[in-house]
Amino acid sequence: MTLPMSDPTAWATAMNNLGMAPLGIAGQPILPDLPPPATRERPPGCKTVFVGGLPENGTEQIIVEVFEQCGEIIAIRKSKKNFCHIRFAEEYMVDKALYLSGYRIRLGSSTDKKDTGRLHVDFAQARDDLYEWECKQRMLAREERHRRRMEEERLRPPSPPPVVHYSDHECSIVAEKLKDDSKFSEAVQTLLTWIERGEVNRRSANNFYSMIQSANSHVRRLVNEKAAHEKDMEEAKEKFKQALSGILIQFEQIVAVYHSASKQKAWDHFTKAQRKNISVWCKQAEEIRNIHNDELMGIRREEEMEMSDDEIEEMTETKETEESVSQAEALKEENDSLRWQLDAYRNEVELLKQEQGKVHREDDPNKEQQLKLLQQALQGMQQHLLKVQEEYKKKEAELEKLKDDKLQVEKMLENLKEKESCASRLCASNQDSEYPLEKTMNSSPIKSEREALLVGIISTFLHVHPFGASIEYICSYLHRLDNKICTSDVECLMGRLQHTFKQEMTGVGASLEKRWKFCGFEGLKLT
- SS3 at position 372: helix
Nearby residues of 22 by Cβ (< 8 Å), 6 or more positions away: 11, 12, 15, 16, 29, 30, 31
| Residue range 483-492, pLDDT digits in tens | 878 888 888 8
Nearby residues of 245 by Cβ (< 8 Å), 6 or more positions away: 296
Compute the distance between CA of residue 83 and CA of residue 80 in angstroms, rounded to an integer: 7
DSSP 444-463: SS--SHHHHHHHHHHHHHHH
If one counts every other C-beta atom within 10 angstroms of the C-beta of residue 500, the result is: 22
Contact 134, 141 (CB under 8 A): no
The pLDDT score that the predictor gives to residue 425 is 67
Contact 67, 22 (CB under 8 A): no
Contact 471, 517 (CB under 8 A): no
| Residue range 182-236, pLDDT digits in tens | 888 888 889 899 998 888 898 889 989 988 988 888 888 888 999 999 999 989 9
Cα of first residue to Cα of last residue in the chain, in angstroms, is 128
Mean residue pLDDT of the chain comes to 80
Mean pLDDT on 71-76:
94
The pLDDT score that the predictor gives to residue 446 is 75
The pLDDT score that the predictor gives to residue 77 is 94
Lowest mean pLDDT among 180-189, 215-224, 273-282, 299-308: 299-308
The pLDDT score that the predictor gives to residue 397 is 86
Contact 504, 515 (CB under 8 A): yes
pTM here is 0.31
Planar angle of CA 184, 185, 187, nearest 5 degrees? 65
Buried (b) or exposed (e) across 420-449, using 16+ Cβ within 10 A? Answer: eeeeeeeeeeeeeeeeeeeeeeeeeebeee
Contact 236, 253 (CB under 8 A): no
Percent of the chain scored above 70 by pLDDT? 80
Asked whether the predicted pLDDT for residue 319 surpasses 70, the reply is: no
Contact 101, 53 (CB under 8 A): no
Contact 207, 171 (CB under 8 A): yes
